[in-house]
């Protein structure tokens, strides 16, 4: 089977190179046979990579330990779901996964894009094939998943225990899907540049792709936080680790892009900016993979150091040079069609939102690569950690939260005083009331207070929009309120889905502000001994150590320590944290022991208990107790965010005549009658 996979990879490399060359040549020379060939190459690539992926999966499922990759990442007693997940658990497999998924997306893009964008398609095929050339070359020459061992081990090494978690089964593919799907909008952008068809056509063609990739990134990041929280045992979900940052960076620039394309669609402005943003997003997705794999920046996620990193670096440099040249030669075609008319307008607020998002992205990138930069420039390696990122991003995040409320309410082109008064009275009142209430209860953290007040402001803007829209429909069409609400959202998915996303962001921000009240303590307890801890709401928790037990499980040996938890004297339950030693089917230990935290989640706060080890051979146990306020809301914020993304993407909300219409002065103000036309 692996021979078949091996052959498919080589053939795929040749086909990808063919597709990249014929796509560009066919497009420029307008040779129909070359164009057809390039587009067909995309489908053939998909077929070949399907075969390669199937043969790796077969090798994994058949426990063919003669294949190095299978032996390195699985063992006979590994549960089936993790055996499948091992496909993307290691370096070579994840690269194959990447190439395979890109081939699906590329084929889907060729197949599903309406005929009116036909002139772009040969270039799109060329770009996706070009990216495939890079991935396939890396696979064939540097990280081949089909490499065989000179002997066949009796059993494999098993999967790293930290990857044996349900979150880890879905988190990496979601993130990869997000990274990979950025390639499609990027391919269209390059196609538009090469063909000089720089009207808004390409933006309409990629609208759903952009959202898809943004949604996948959001899911992937949220699941990643969840995984880090339940599996890594340090009591938090975000540590500003380089790999976390790497997933956050394209999310930020994609979010900026989603907003700024609206300006180009409505007003024909920001053309160069949009081209730059989508290029940067693509490069950041490659950069993310590069720092994960190269070992250039130390991270908890690092794969083994290997020369794969250099392939990525070369690819990044080539992309940057190529795109820089393309943009430079096309600058005259990217002239803006309109000038900004007022500093108080939707356009201006979107400028600022973009500036803040890119500012955050830049500071995160800077902090991530600062150790390397400082070593190059000053010969002195200086690192920055979470304090740096928090210092910079908390104020910027709050500014962004404020803009989340302001942006959607300001009229296009030029807001009148009447518009401002009408839109902002209720939200500003909500902000003021919340701020006064927080001051009254002596809310102790300034930033958390600001976050909560701004959250009230944004929620008020969103509720106001939904209520006004529903009432307008009720009045105009005589629909009952439920129907009016459903149709309002259904017929303006982009707009109201966007508001739902904003609610998700608010939920996130409130959840993050809970970090300001996190409590942590460590204690060594004999059986029957207890310790107490106050939560930020003034309740007292009592933790009593019950004892330690040991037992065998399918592929691990478990030592569990149990704690009885009381809140204000009332029994809440027993929580058990485990230390696990994973073993293979021959009962040999694989990996170092790992810790499984005990977590009790409620909307107000999480209890997070980690068993650090037993003292000597006694039953005395060392614990770390953490009280994490509002963590619950991080997961729900993610869910709301994704729900919003899905509402916007839902089929049938493609560009209508109304949404293609250009903005008129005071556009957002004329609510009555035109609610269905705006977005």
Partner 1 sequence: MKARTRVLIGAGLVVGTVGYLMASGIKDTGVYFLTPTELAQRVSADPSFRDVGVKMGARVVHGTIQRDVASQTIAFKVTDGTQTYPVVYRGLAPDTFNDDVDVVVEGRLMPDGTFRATTLLAKCGSRYEVVPKA
Site for partner 1 in 300-359 (CB under 8 A): 300-305, 339-343, 345, 348, 351-352, 355-356, 359
Q: What is the DSSP letter of 514?
A: G
User: Which residues inside 115-154 make contact with partner 1, applying CB under 8 A?
Assistant: none
CB of 139 to partner 1, least distance (A): 18
Binding residue for partner 1 (CB under 8 A) from 242, 371, 629, 644? 371
Cα–Cα distance list, 43 to 111, 114, 121, 127 (Å) = 9, 17, 13, 14
> Closer CB to partner 1, residue 203 or residue 348?
348
Binder of partner 1 out of 118, 337, 522, 552 (CB under 8 A)? 522
Interface region with partner 1, contact rule CB under 8 A, candidates 256-264, 383-391, 505-513, 658-666: 383-391
Q: Which is nearer to partner 1, 291 or 610 (CB)?
A: 610
Q: Which is nearer to partner 1, 339 or 587 (CB)?
A: 339
| Three-state DSSP state, 156 | coil
Supply φ then ψ for residue 577, to 5 degrees.
Answer: -110, 145
Strand partners, 556: 553, 582
Nearer to partner 1, 395 or 654 (CB): 395
Residue 544 token pair: 């009593």
Query: Is there binding between residue 17 and partner 1 (CB under 8 A)?
Result: no
- Interaction between residue 420 and partner 1 (CB under 8 A): no
Judged by CB under 8 A, the chain residues 459 through 498 that form the site for partner 1 are: none
- How far apart CA 248 and CA 360 sit, in angstroms, is 10
| By the rule CB under 8 A, 270 interacts with partner 1 | no
Contact between 587 and partner 1 per CB under 8 A = no
Residue 609 Cβ, how far from partner 1 at the closest point, in Å?
12
Instruction: Please select the residue that binds partner 1; options are 104, 108, 396, 546, rule is CB under 8 A.
Output: 396
Quote the least distance from Cβ 443 to partner 1, whole Å. 24
Helix axes 2-29, 32-61, angle to 10 degrees: 160
CB nearer to partner 1: give 47 or 612: 612
In this structure, are strands 598-601 and 530-534 parallel, antiparallel, or unpaired? Answer: unpaired
CB atoms within 10 A of CB 481: 12
CB of 219 to partner 1, least distance (A): 21
Instruction: Pick one of 72, 127, 230, 448: the residue that binds partner 1 (CB under 8 A).
Output: 72
338 neighbors 286 (Cβ within 8 angstroms):
no
Closer CB to partner 1, 298 or 532, in the complex:
298
What span, in angstroms and rounded, lies between the C-alpha atoms of 289 and 238?
Answer: 19
Site string for partner 1, 73-102 (x = CB under 8 A): x---------------xxx-----------
**For residues 613 and 622, is the Cβ–Cβ distance under 8 A?**
yes
Q: Which of 592, 651, 652, 657 binds partner 1 (CB under 8 A)?
A: 592
CA–CA dist 345, 419 (Å, integer)? 11
Alpha-carbon distance of 388 to 178, in angstroms, equals 27
State how far the Cα of 411 lies from the Cα of 497, in Å rounded to an integer.
Answer: 19
With CB under 8 A as the contact rule, the residue among 318, 615, 658, 660 that binds partner 1 is 615
- d(CA 244, CA 389) in angstroms, rounded, equals 12
In three-state form (DSSP H/G/I as H, E/B as E, the rest C), the secondary structure along 294-307 is HCCCCCCCCCCCCC
Q: Which is nearer to partner 1, 622 or 671 (CB)?
A: 622
Return the residue of 150, 332, 616, 652 that touches partner 1, per CB under 8 A.
616
Minimal distance, residue 77 CB to partner 1, in Å: 15
Structure letter (DSSP) for residue 622: E
Determine the interface stretch with partner 1 among 12-20, 108-116, 568-576, 612-620 (rule: CB under 8 A). 612-620
Reading the block at residue 546, the tokens are 């019950």
Q: Please report which helix (H) or strand (E) contains residue 237, including its range.
A: none
Taking the C-alpha atoms of residue 646 and residue 649, their distance in angstroms, rounded to an integer, is 5
Instruction: Quote the least distance from Cβ 158 to partner 1, whole Å.
Output: 7
Q: What is the DSSP string of 216-276?
A: HHHHHHHHHHHHHHHHS-SS-S----HHHHHHHHHHHHHHHHHHHHHHHHHHS--HHHHHH
- Which of 32, 80, 114, 380 contacts partner 1 by CB under 8 A? 380
Residues 178-217 vs partner 1: string with x where CB under 8 A? ----------------------------------------
Site for partner 1 in 524-563 (CB under 8 A): 524
Backbone dihedral region for residue 299 (phi beyond 0: left; psi -120 to 50: alpha; all else: beta): beta
Instruction: Give 456: exposed, middle or buried? Use CB within 10 Å, 0-12, 13-18, 19+.
Output: buried
Beta carbon of residue 240, minimum distance to partner 1 (angstroms, whole number): 11
Choices 157-165, 196-204, 312-320, 466-474 (CB under 8 A): range interacting with partner 1: 157-165
Stretch binding partner 1 (CB under 8 A), from 13-21, 180-188, 392-400, 483-491: 392-400
Nearest of 362, 390, 345 to residue 668 by alpha carbon:
345
Query: Tokens 């000053």 correspond to what residue?
Result: 378
Q: Give the shortest CB-384-to-partner 1 separation in angstroms.
A: 5
Instruction: Write the burial class of residue 374 (CB in 10 Å: 0-12 exposed, 13-18 middle, 19+ buried).
Output: middle
Q: Looking up tokens 């919003």, which residue turns up? A: 644
- x/- letters, 26..65, toward partner 1 (CB under 8 A): ----------------------------------------
**Binding to partner 1, residues 220-249 (CB under 8 A):** 233-234
Strand partners, 560: 549, 578
User: Which of residues 546 and 622 has its CB atom nearest to partner 1 in the complex?
Assistant: 622
């Amino acid at each position: 089977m692996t021979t078949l996979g091996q052959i498919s990879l080589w053939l795929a490399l040749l086909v990808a190179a063919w597709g990249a060359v014929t796509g560009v040549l066919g497009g420029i020379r307008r040779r129909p046979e070359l164009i057809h060939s390039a587009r067909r190459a995309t489908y053939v690539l998909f077929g070949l990579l399907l075969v390669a992926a199937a043969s790796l999966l077969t090798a994994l499922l058949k426990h063919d330990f003669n294949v190095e990759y299978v032996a390195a990442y699985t063992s006979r007693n590994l549960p089936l779901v993790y055996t499948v997940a091992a496909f993307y658990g290691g370096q070579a497999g994840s690269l194959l996964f990447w190439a395979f998924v890109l081939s699906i997306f590329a084929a889907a893009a060729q197949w599903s894009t309406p005929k009116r964008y036909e002139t772009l398609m040969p270039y799109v095929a060329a770009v996706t094939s070009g990216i495939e050339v890079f991935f396939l070359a890396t696979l064939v020459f540097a990280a081949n998943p089909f490499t065989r061992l000179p002997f066949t081990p009796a059993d494999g090494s098993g999967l790293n225990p930290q990857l044996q978690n349900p979150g880890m089964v879905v988190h990496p593919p979601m993130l990869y899907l997000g990274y990979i799907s950025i390639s499609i909008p990027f391919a269209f952008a390059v196609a538009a540049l090469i063909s000089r068809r720089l009207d808004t056509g390409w933006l309409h063609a990629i609208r759903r792709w952009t959202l898809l990739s943004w949604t996948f990134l959001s899911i992937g990041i949220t699941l990643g936080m969840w995984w880090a929280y339940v599996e890594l045992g340090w009591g938090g979900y975000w540590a500003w680790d380089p790999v976390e940052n790497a997933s956050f960076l394209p999310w930020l620039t994609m979010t900026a892009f989603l907003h700024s394309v609206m300006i180009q669609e409505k007003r024909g402005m920001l053309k160069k900016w949009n081209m730059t943003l989508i290029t940067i997003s693509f490069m950041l997705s490659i950069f993310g993979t590069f720092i994960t794999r190269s070992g250039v920046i130390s991270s908890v996620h690092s794969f083994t150091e290997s020369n794969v990193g250099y392939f990525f670096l070369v690819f990044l440099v080539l992309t940057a040079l190529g795109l820089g040249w393309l943009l430079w030669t096309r600058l005259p075609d990217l002239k803006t069609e309109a000038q900004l008319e007022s500093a108080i307008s939707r356009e201006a607020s979107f400028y600022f939102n973009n500036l803040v998002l890119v500012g955050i992205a830049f500071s995160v990138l800077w902090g991530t690569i600062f150790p390397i930069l400082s070593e190059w420039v000053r010969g002195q390696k200086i690192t920055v950690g979470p304090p740096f990122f928090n210092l910079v991003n908390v104020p910027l995040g709050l500014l962004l939260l404020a803009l989340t409320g302001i942006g959607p309410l300001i009229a296009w082109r030029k807001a009148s005083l009447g518009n401002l008064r009408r839109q902002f009275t209720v939200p500003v009142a909500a902000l003021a009331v919340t701020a006064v209430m927080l001051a009254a209860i002596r809310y102790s953290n300034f930033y958390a207070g600001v976050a909560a007040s701004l959250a009230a402001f944004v929620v008020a803007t969103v509720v106001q929009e939904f209520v006004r829209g529903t009432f307008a429909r009720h009045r105009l069409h005589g629909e009952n309120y439920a129907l009016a609400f459903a149709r309002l959202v259904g017929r303006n998915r982009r707009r109201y889905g966007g508001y739902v996303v904003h609610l998700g962001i608010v939920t996130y921000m409130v959840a993050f502000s809970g970090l300001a009240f996190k409590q942590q303590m460590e204690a060594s307890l004999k059986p029957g001994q207890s310790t107490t801890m106050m939560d930020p709401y003034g309740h007292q928790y009592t933790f009593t150590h019950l004892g330690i037990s040991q037992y065998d499980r399918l592929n691990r040996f478990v030592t569990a320590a149990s704690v009885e938890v009381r809140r204000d004297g009332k029994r809440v339950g027993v929580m058990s944290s485990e230390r696990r030693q994973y073993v293979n089917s021959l009962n040999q230990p694989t990996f170092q022991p790992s810790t499984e935290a005990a977590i009790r989640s409620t909307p107000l706060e999480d209890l997070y208990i980690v068993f650090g080890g037993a003292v000597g051979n006694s039953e005395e146990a060392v614990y770390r107790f953490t009280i994490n306020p509002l963590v619950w809301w991080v997961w729900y914020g993610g869910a709301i965010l994704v729900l919003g993304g899905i509402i916007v993407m839902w089929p049938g909300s493609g560009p209508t005549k109304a949404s293609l219409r250009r903005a008129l002065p005071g556009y957002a103000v004329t609510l009555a009658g035109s609610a269905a036309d705006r977005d």
